[in-house]
Structure 1
Amino acid sequence: MGWTELSSTNIQENIHLFFDRMNLDQKTKLTLHPEVGEGYVRRFLPRYDMEVVVSDYTFYRSQSISLSTKSPMVELNFCLKGERGISVQGKEHQLLPGLCSLQFMSEVEARFEYVGNEPFYMLGIGIPVSTFHHFMEESNGQRSIEFGQVLGKQSFRIFQEKLSPAASVALQRVMQYVAKPGTKKIEMETGVLGLLSMAFQSFLLDSETASVPLSKRDKEKIAQARVIMLECMVDPPSLPELSRMIGLNDYKLKTGFKAMFGTTVFGYLREKRLEKALFLLQQGEMNVTETSSAIGYTNTSYFAEAFREKYGVNPSVFVRRSSK
């Protein structure tokens, strides 16, 4: 939970309250009080029911800020630098760099913890419940997911996962819109809708991923699986083999890996193979065939197709451009 506690009737109500707690001047670009820290918060309204907030600041000393939200809302956060602790209903949560967090809340009391002299950088997107329900409607007018269904008997629920490669690209595009003077609202809205769509799909619409319970030990085993796949990139184990290696059943491995890293086991491997291929080709010491073999592709044509799909250019053309 962050800067964008929105009401379906007055989307400014809660955010003004939070900014008051933060000693921020109420302007388009809100600056931190010089006695508290340095930095700013920038607000964007791509449309009437959507608030986008970019936070970039550093507190001089560790801070603890309490807030009671006034209206139910849905918030999507991308932590890019630093970390922030959140305490809600006696439960502690952390926003860490590289994490995507989707939060559902009704009226709750929360406490935010900030570490002193640590830069914090985050993009937050907030929408009211009515807009969330609109997004969850199918073409026949039926609603697949209800806000109350997600919360259940709780007043706060958070989903978190590592940024997927696709989400990272979409987030980068939105941050470019934020930095570019004269960005059109339609550009910002389109980019933000893309991020929301990917988050809803990953956390809510993929029922297996949304429901899988992971203990701390499960997460350690899944992290171990990721390391094994990277170390065995050329000749990776099959999913059943990987499950046996880490001591976790293949169902929990599949769903847990998707929950933690935003993609399948072999989808992740494919991305890392192509990232290594890009690095190797940039070094200029291997040709396309050698690079294909070095990352585990036995068929150079398949490698070229995957490389072109990810980077928009054939590897042979990329080599020629890099050598100029």
Structure 2
Amino acid sequence: MNDNELKAPFLTDLSETCELHYTDELGASGYMNISEIKIDGADIFAASCKQEHEITMREQTETPTLNMYFSLQGQSAAWEAQSKDRYVLNDNEHVISFMPSFDGYYALSSPEIKSFGISLYEPFFRRLFATDMDCLKRFWDKVDAGKMAEISKHALPVTSKQQVLINEMQQCVYSGHMKQLFFESKIIELFLLQAEQADSLDGQKPIKIERHNVDKLHAAKQFVQQRMFDPLTLNGIAREAGLNEFMLKKGFKELFGLTVFGYLNELKMNYARQMLLDSNCTVYEAAYTIGYNEPYNFSKAFKKHFGYSPGELKR
């Protein structure tokens, strides 16, 4: 295995990147590429890891920390040293947790893992205090009592809106005070998206999809991403991924939090938004590129999706 195969997870030049070869107590080893950005009150990191066998890492900290963790690819786990209960995260899952302290282990279980996380410290995470939702009230009651807390009883699927915010943070171009303001605003926005999702799914059973189908659903998602400008059909996507249409529709929504064509719409809208931001293209050109013949219909759909019109973005 070659550590040069791992791409730096952060695209911005502002991050500090570390590449290392790690061997655990049992002799299992792997390569890691970790990028980190520090601001007042928070650490933001992105990591890519490759290993042939599960790697276990010990961690100890006495610092109270609110963690926003996103498992973008692969399976990982965490558990306390005095407990046998493993908290497992699979592909495309996220959690918000509070740890008054931690003495335990992390495990990287899959051959390849990609993750993104934010660690918040006092007084920063106190600025997120709100009890408007039941899940937040339960969460902050435990935090105030100095107990371990989770915003949801089980991991939640990463949504496209959350992924957009993660991508924006990974491409930050600001420095100095603007960098601090940028990350503060994005962290708060991401926390709200996670909390709203936890509240909307409160009481529902956790997702249970067989591992081989999870891999096929990821293949379907990648196929849609690669062929987003082709005339796609559910039957064609299902056949390409080795699934039947029922599992494609049901599993895709459960795993990724939106329908197949909802995801396709997300891709196209984000592509159009990036075109408008990165070039001198007109609204008509952006509309035509993603399949709209009428700029009016595109502008209407764009505003419904983002909350502002493409014209406002160009000002």
State the TM bucket, normalised to the shorter chain: 0.5 to 0.7
Contact 1:277 1:292 in 2 (8 A): no
1:258-269 → structure 2 map (5 Å cutoff): none
Partner-residue secondary structure (3-state), 1:33: strand
- Name the structure 1 match of 2:109: 115
Residue 67 of structure 2 aligns with an amino acid whose one-letter code is E
Q: C-alpha deviations, 1:65-105, integer Å up to 9, x for none?
A: 23343122101122333331223444332333333321211
Tell me which residue corresponds to 1:85.
77
Partner residue, 1:103: 97
Shift of 1:172: 1.0
Structure-1 residue corresponding to 2:55: 63
What is the one-letter code of the residue matched to 1:92?
Answer: R
Which of residues 72, 88, 92 is equivalent to 1:94?
Answer: 88
Match of 1:31 among 19, 22, 26: 19
User: Which residue identity is paired with 1:133?
Assistant: R
Partner of 2:241 in structure 1?
none
2:63 counterpart letter in structure 1: S
Q: What is the one-letter code of the residue matched to 1:31? A: E
C-alpha distance in structure 1 between counterparts of 2:112 and 2:138, whole Å: 36
1:194-213 alignment, distance < 5 Å: 194-204=185-195, 208-209=199-200, 211-213=202-204
Distance 1:186 1:269, change over 3 A: farther
**2:38 maps to which residue?**
45
Change (3 A) 1:176 1:96: farther
CA distance in 1, matches of 2:105, 2:117: 17
1:165 is aligned to 2:160: yes
| Aligned counterparts of 2:299 and 2:194: Cα–Cα separation in 1 | 32
1:201 maps to amino acid? L
1:79 maps to a residue whose letter is S
Query: In structure 2, what is the Cα distance between the partners aligned to 1:81 and 1:187?
Result: 31
Contact 1:83 1:96 in 2 (8 A): yes
State which of 160, 167, 171 in structure 2 corresponds to 1:176.
171
Q: TM-score, normalised by structure 1?
A: 0.53
- 1:199 and 1:269 mapped to 2: Cα distance? 23
Q: Does 1:305 align with 2:300?
A: yes
Distance 1:59 1:97, change over 3 A: same
TM-superposed deviation, 1:111: 2.2
AA partner of residue 94 (structure 2): C
| Contact kept? 1:129, 1:147, Cα under 8 Å | no
| 1:244 match | none
For the 8 Å contact 1:84–1:114, the answer to whether it is kept is yes
Ranges in structure 2 where 5+ consecutive residues have no aligned partner: 1-15, 24-28, 215-232, 235-252, 272-286
Change in Cα spacing, 1:60 to 1:205, as seen in structure 2 (3 Å) is closer
Question: Which residue does 1:283 correspond to in 2?
Answer: none
Deviation at 1:212, TM superposition (A): 2.4
Tell me how large the CA RMSD over aligned residues is: 4.7
| SS class of match (2:91) | coil
Deviations 1:232-266 (A, max 9, x none): xxxxxxxxxxxxxxxxxxxxxxxxx8x97567x8x
The unaligned stretches of length 5 or more in structure 1 are: 1-27, 139-143, 224-229, 232-256, 280-286, 294-298, 315-324
Equivalent-residue separation in structure 1 for 2:20 and 2:305 (angstroms): 40
- Give me the whole-angstrom Cα distance separating, in 2, the residues matched to 1:106 and 1:278: 38
1-structure distance, mates of 2:207, 2:304: 36
Cα distance in 1 between the residues matched to 2:87 and 2:116 = 17
What corresponds to 1:128 in structure 2?
121
Q: Distance in 1 between matches of 2:35 and 2:76?
A: 18
Does residue 74 (structure 1) correspond to residue 62 (structure 2)? The answer is no
Cα gap change, 1:146 to 1:156, in 2 (>3 Å): closer
2:65, 2:119 within 8 Å by CA — same for their partners in 1?
yes
Aligned-partner residue type, residue 188 of structure 2: S
DSSP-derived class of the 1:97 partner: coil
Q: CA, structure 1 residues 157+310, in 2 after alignment: closer, same or farther (shift >3 Å)?
A: closer
